[in-house]
Amino acid sequence: MIAESAQRFEALEAQAQRLLASFTRAGYEHVAPSIIQPANMFLDVVGESLRARTYVFTDPGGDELCLRPDLTVPTCRLHLARHPQGAVPARYCYNGSAFRYQQGGDTSAHPREFRQAGVESFAAADREQADAEVLAIIVEAVRDAGIASFQLRFGDLGLFRALLGALSLPERWRRRLQHQFWRPDAFRAELNRLTSAAALRAPALKAEVIDRLDPDQPAGAQSEVEAYLERAGLTLLGTRTLPEITERLLAAAADARESPLPAATANAIESYVAVKAPARAAVRELNRLLRGHRIDLSEPLQAFQRRLDDLDTAGVITDEAEFSAEFGRNLEYYTGFVFEIVVPELGPKSPLAGGGRYDSLLAEVGAPVAVAAVGSCIHTERLLAALQGTAA
């Protein structure tokens, strides 16, 4: 990226101060977590795909460090340093640099060094209300900055989880589909496998072991597997344990005996994933769709509706917000409501702001219990570019 001019720096700073002022007015405490973060813990959490874009280095003392690729994880760490028990309500805001390698080169829409201004809300009792509050604050800040026209995009990974929960299928299939959700190809492949009796019974690995395992008698399975390894002259190598190997073989044994997923159920899942409509119309469409499949999702859909109502009350106009059941698939650590703010100047590939609910991240960073969390940040360079009409 071209060296930042003093003028541009001043403009970004002035803009950041306005954003922060609007966050602190809303009751969010201004924090400044460290730019340099321990690489190991950070990278365990964000996954290898973001790691590939993270600037990692070893300092002269031999410690593995990184330049933070976002401010959410550092803010989680800051919260846990203050409140090791984790589940203490807190609301933070920040404005600071984040760093990511950009495969397409360092451009003004995707700079490798950029500033995020955002908010995080932890341990709020009412999740939908907290979701709405965070989005409303970001929308207000964007409007205050001078953006008059923008498009909201919504998704809800919690709804998908609720759908799986309402369907009758083995818990391990639920976990697998949930896990594969954000990888469309793998998801489709898994759904195809589950609906095919032949695929489920396909001679799995080591059929001679699997055939001896009784999924209803898991207690005896481990010694069965151990005996097989011994007969085959195989010793355990590395850190992965016998119970882990047994668990997967038992799952394969159970799959082989399971009736395949009814086509209607797979169909319901696929129809859900395909839903894309203005948010309120989407709720109606989902209600109709699920009624047709005799699936009861009234509670989570009411929660979704309540969030929309809260947003409207807060002055966020949701009429034209677009809900897409697929949206959020590519964002690994989100667990619930997700959103993006898109402006025509920058296009859908460079959202001005984004965020969502991530209820499992704090526990992964070290909290002893799961802590409800929702946050969002504004890409400040893009905001400035949209305002100045200098979008790349």
Partner 1 sequence: MSEKLILALPSKGRLMEQCATALARAGLSVAKSGSVRGYRGEIAELPDVEVNFVSSSEIAHFLQQGTVHLGITGEDLVRETIPDCEARVSFLKRCGFGHADVVVAVPICWIDVGSMADLEETSLIYRRVHGRPIRVATKYMNLTRRFFAQRGVAGYRIVPSLGATEGAPAADLAEVIVDITTTGATLRANGLKVLSDGVILKSQANLIASKLASWSDGARQVKAAMLARLSCWDWEPSAPPQSKR
The residues that touch partner 1, with contacts defined as CB under 8 A, are 43-44, 47-49, 51-52, 103, 175-176, 179-180, 183, 185-186, 189, 205-206, 209, 225, 228-229, 232, 234-241, 243-245, 247-249, 252, 332
Nearer to partner 1, 309 or 326 (CB): 326
Residue 95 three-state SS: strand
Nearer to partner 1, 179 or 291 (CB): 179
The minimum distance between CB 319 and partner 1, in angstroms, equals 36
Nearer to partner 1, 60 or 238 (CB): 238
Nearer to partner 1, 248 or 291 (CB): 248
Asked whether 157 and 181 are in contact (CB, 8 A), the reply is yes
Tokens for 312, please give them: 């409207």
The minimum distance between CB 18 and partner 1, in angstroms, equals 38
Asked whether 92 and 116 are in contact (CB, 8 A), the reply is no
CA distance 162 to 209: 35
Nearer to partner 1, 309 or 359 (CB): 359
Tokens for 158, please give them: 């919690």
The minimum distance between CB 254 and partner 1, in angstroms, equals 13
Tokens for 204, please give them: 């799995």
The minimum distance between CB 245 and partner 1, in angstroms, equals 5
CB atoms within 10 A of CB 201: 14
The minimum distance between CB 76 and partner 1, in angstroms, equals 16
- Nearest alpha-carbon partner for 184 in 53, 327, 338, 351: 327
Nearer to partner 1, 221 or 283 (CB): 221
The minimum distance between CB 143 and partner 1, in angstroms, equals 36
Residues sharing a CB contact under 8 Å with residue 378, sequence separation 6 or more, in sequence order? 19, 116, 117, 118, 138, 141, 142, 352, 353
Residues sharing a CB contact under 8 Å with residue 119, sequence separation 6 or more, in sequence order? 23, 26, 28, 91, 92, 93, 94, 134, 137, 138, 375, 376, 377
